[in-house]
Amino acid sequence: MNLYGKTIVITGSSSGIGAETARLLRQRGAHVIGVDRNDPMITLDGFVKADLSEQAAIDDAVRQLPERIDGLANIAGVPGTAPVDLVARVNYLGLRHLTARLLDRMPAGASVVNVASILGYEWPQRLDAHKALATTASFEAGLAWLAKHPVAQETCYQYFKEALIVWTFAQSQPWFLQRGVRMNCVAPGPVFTPILGDFVTMLGQERVEKDAHRMKRPALADEIAPAVAFLCSDDARWVSGINLPVDGGLASTYI
């Protein structure tokens, strides 16, 4: 899996899956530019500090990024314990806006990888709503749609991971056909990252204990990073529009 010479932008690069992905991509020869609201704790080839919840901040970050980008790994995210509006902005609307703004800088063969979640597996139950949100044309239009269709705090994380998967499915093929740019999702299960405790709080101890038998253990961040790296690489040049579970088999236990 050779990424030599590729320029790849990674959001959420300062911790967790983002940091491990940045480390792995650089080991494989990529030129890695990190984007995060926190300062990096690892070596990068470039870094842009940005709050991905604000459209103006995203636009400012875009102006600081390279003119050619071979890959974008959208890994930044906030847990469902954060306010609904912030979850919507970071985990969906900001991600979508950043990707659209960078698309013109991506040559044929470039790749976008969005980090979703196993908690997005119920997307078919709300498909019509997610498709409607996916058709909103901008960050502000998305906010307006959500104002008319409010999302409950207790399910907001799942909702926007579902929405991300549906948007990826809906948008991937037009971009692949018209531009040769691939877009896919990776869906981790629980991962040992700084926000794992927030997920336990979000789901509740009863749900966590009920599901504990379904998996061997939470993943380590460096067990998710290779899947992101593969989808960024030319080895995955004919993989587009998928949601890849990287969850130690957790998804299979719901059949």
* pLDDT attached to residue 199: 62
What are the domain boundaries of the chain? 7-240
Portion of the chain with pLDDT greater than 70, in percent: 95
Nearest-5° angle of CA 223, CA 175, CA 101? 80
Furthest-apart CA atoms within the chain: distance in Å? 49
For residue 1, what pLDDT band results from cuts at 50, 70 and 90?
confident
Could you tell me which residue, 203 or 35, shows the higher pLDDT? 35
- pTM of structure: 0.94
Q: Look at residue 27 and tell me whether its pLDDT is greater than 70.
A: yes
Q: Which amino acid is at 197?
A: G
Average pLDDT, stretch 44-71? Answer: 98
The pLDDT of residue 213 is: 80
| Beta carbons of 58 and 97 less than 8 angstroms apart | yes
**pLDDT higher than threshold 70 for residue 34:** yes
Is-catalytic flag, 121? no
Instruction: Decide: 43 and 83 in contact? Cβ < 8 Å.
Output: no
- Tokens coding 235: 């080895």
- In this predicted structure, what is the pLDDT of residue 201? 73
pLDDT for 205 equals 67
Closest-CA residue to 54 (of 88, 20, 26): 88
d(CA 159, CA 153): 10
Q: Quote the pLDDT of residue 186.
A: 98
Task: Spell out the residues 6+ positions from residue 165 whose beta carbon is closer than 8 angstroms to its own.
Answer: 116, 120, 123, 185, 187, 243
Q: Is 175 within 8 Å of 107 (Cβ atoms)?
A: no
Among the options 92, 157, 159, 254, which is catalytic? 157
Report which DSSP code applies to 1: -
pLDDT at 181 (0 to 100)? 98
- The CATH T-level fold of domain 7-240 is Rossmann fold (3.40.50)
Q: Which pLDDT score, from 0 to 100, does residue 255 have?
A: 78
**Three-class SS state of 153:** helix
Residue 25 has pLDDT above 80, yes or no: yes
Amino acid at the residue 24: L
